[in-house]
Amino acid sequence: MQYYLLYKPFQVLSQFTSTDGKLCLKDIIEVEKDVYPVGRLDYDSEGLLLLTNDKKINHQLLHPSFEHKRTYWVQVDGAITQEAIQQLAKGVNISVDGKSYQTKPAKLSILPDTIEVPDRNPPIRYRKSIPTSWASIELIEGKNRQVRKMFAQVGFPVLRLIRAQIGEYTIEKMQPGDLIHLSELKLLT
């Protein structure tokens, strides 16, 4: 079995085939032909992506009954408030496939503005009169564009979204495009 950790860069599709001329995984990495990403990160999101040919791990990560932890660092438009953090922690209503969905409770914290993250290319827009802030959110579920929808629901649109951790695996010491081959992948909880 093959196991990889990838720091997926911003504006790269989480698949090996391109659509509409967008960059995809085959443009930035080379892995065995039977290795595929487990789960997705949106084109406009970045961070940790697992790749494998191990069907057991694939099932464990994608089936909703396995509530594995994933942590995201979120840069938002405006100075996020404790009230917004508390609302998000309890769960908020978002739209999933055109239906109202109550998100599960999450763990959140406000991160310092000095958080060290790799530069993004292109960088987020800078507006002198509107601050930005960072928060960390840990989820055990993964609905389509869930983090973006959650933060928008409490009035803080997402400017940058980085998946920092899946289970015990992190992007610590990684840069966008870095690919790490693992000899094994521990079961994720």
Per 3-state DSSP, the chain is made up of helix, strand and coil in percentages (nearest 5) of 15, 35, 50
User: Tokens at residue 116, please?
Assistant: 């060290």
Judged by phi (left if over 0) then psi (alpha if -120 to 50, else beta), residue 20 lies in: left
Alpha helices in the chain (DSSP H): 55-62, 82-90, 146-153
Catalytic sites, residue numbers = 42
How far, in Å, CA of 148 to CA of 180, rounded?
Answer: 27
Q: Give the relative orientation of helices 82-90 and 146-153 as an angle to the nearest 10 degrees.
A: 130
Q: How many residues in the chain?
A: 189
DSSP, res 19: S
